[in-house]
Amino acid sequence: MADRFQNFKDLSDVLSPDTDYAIRSAERDSDVVILAPHGGTIEPETSAIAEAIAGDTYSFYAFEALKPGAHGDLHITSHLFDEPTALDLVSRSRIAVAIHGRKDDGTDSVWLGGRAAALRDAIGAALRVAGFEAERNTTLPGIHETNICNRTRRGEGVQLELSRSLRRKLADDPALLDKFSAALREAIEAENAR
């Protein structure tokens, strides 16, 4: 399904905050931001997963659709996603990791994308050590320079695509979500220390 809106201005001209959508953010004393640009009912559970990874340590951002609807109703493609709060927070960060959702495809493998190749690969390795499947994303690679995850000070970030079934498992099992989040934080901390 094609996106209804090509940018945030188009969306905000016809939809209302706190009725149709919400923007949640928490800026922390960190060079890292974890974001869910398609949260709420767009790609369910992505906001909660991003928030769990951010914890009280990393900055957090979520754009959330508040009403049920077709996937494309409030979805703005990642390389066109230009909501001002997200742009500001990501542009001041050294590392950005975006959590996305994809349809079930018979596997719970996390698809790894983005321009930050070293961090992307480190996250994949950490996830595999923690017992999760992870592979390079060739379908939705997240390498466009204006992809929201790549708008950091370094011009690179990481995009993770999680199947619907994996998102449900993480949402339903706090211990599994903690394990997933800890693996990501381990890889991020190692990269951030370099």
pLDDT digits (tens, 9 = 90+) for 97-125: 999 999 999 999 999 999 999 999 999 99
> How much is the pLDDT for 71?
62
H or E element, residue 184 = helix 174-192
Taking only the tens place, the pLDDT of each residue in 124-137 is 999 999 999 999 99
CB 35 within 8 A of CB 149: yes
Average the pLDDT over 139-158 and give the result.
95
Looking at the predicted structure, is the pLDDT value of residue 52 above 60?
yes
Q: Could you say which architecture CATH assigns to the domain 8-192?
A: 3-Layer(aba) Sandwich (3.40)
Q: How far is CA 192 from the centre of its chain?
A: 18
Q: State the pTM of this model.
A: 0.96
CB atoms within 10 A of CB 79: 16
- Per-residue confidence band for 192, with pLDDT thresholds at 50, 70 and 90: confident
Q: Calculate what percentage of the chain has a pLDDT beyond 90.
A: 91
